[in-house]
Structure 1
């Protein structure tokens, strides 16, 4: 069972998420494989529960403004070069797989085999959360996210 704050849970439910959500990930997996991304079991599990969600949440700095993230690696694959993700992988010391986009689609969300989630744009890379659930909570709550050197 996913543990979210009441605010994050409400935002997820507005996006039509539920605890028992289970989507077919075969198209995501096919897309990731064709792009050469490592398909970790933790990624598939995350996509099974959250794939296809577009979540609107308060902006992390301007709380009266809205921001959003989208969990869809098929769409994300068309917005980033795999070589850029390889650069991010080298920086964190682990192979990364794309899972979606955040910060109004300016940053690519990637997940490592241990479940840690990062967001990258050009040379900027931030650590979003220690798991997919933690990353969703961080994005929805506006928690500070440290930059990866």
Structure 2
């Protein structure tokens, strides 16, 4: 639990996460790998820890309203070009990891473990432990493109 504050860890646990959670991420990565998208080890590790979980957070956040998010790359099927094009623009390899705000935005991770909000613009949450913290607490990501 060292990765998260007690408040954030308690919230994650309340939605089914545990610090020792490990699941096989291949069902989430295979459809994208078949299309030629690279799945870096940091993405596999993240999906093993958080894949398949939905965090129904809501209410007032630190700098933006808290919104539910779901870690399930399959929610992004059909949007592969969005991730490859934004990744190319930013000089990173983005891999879809799920949705924010019930599908209003997509979430992606690059080969360095940095999490992004992706749609017709891109914003950066930062490396995944901090990104999960920001998503749970309602911290606005840094606008970087769009």
* 1:92-123 superposed Cα distances (whole Å, 9 cap, x missing partner): 2111111111133211111111111111112x
Q: Which residue of 2 aligns with 1:10?
A: 10
With over 3 angstroms needed to count, the CA separation of the structure-2 counterparts of 1:25 and 1:2, relative to structure 1, is farther
Deviates more, 1:18-27 or 1:102-111: 102-111
Secondary structure (helix, strand or coil) at the match of 1:37 reads coil
Mean CA deviation greater in 98-107 or 41-50: 98-107
Equivalent residue number for residue 130 of structure 2: 134
Cα root mean square deviation, aligned: 1.7
Distance in 1 (alpha carbons) for counterparts of 2:141 and 2:112: 18
Q: Within 5 A, what are the aligned runs for 1:101-112?
A: 101-112=99-110
Aligned length: 142
Give the TM-score, by structure 2 length. Answer: 0.88
Gaps of 5+ in 2: none
Q: How far 1:2 sits from its partner (Å)?
A: 4.8
SS state of the match for residue 90, structure 1?
A: helix
Instruction: Return the TM-score normalized by structure 1.
Output: 0.86
Gaps of 5+ in 1: none
Displacement of 1:26 after TM fit?
1.8
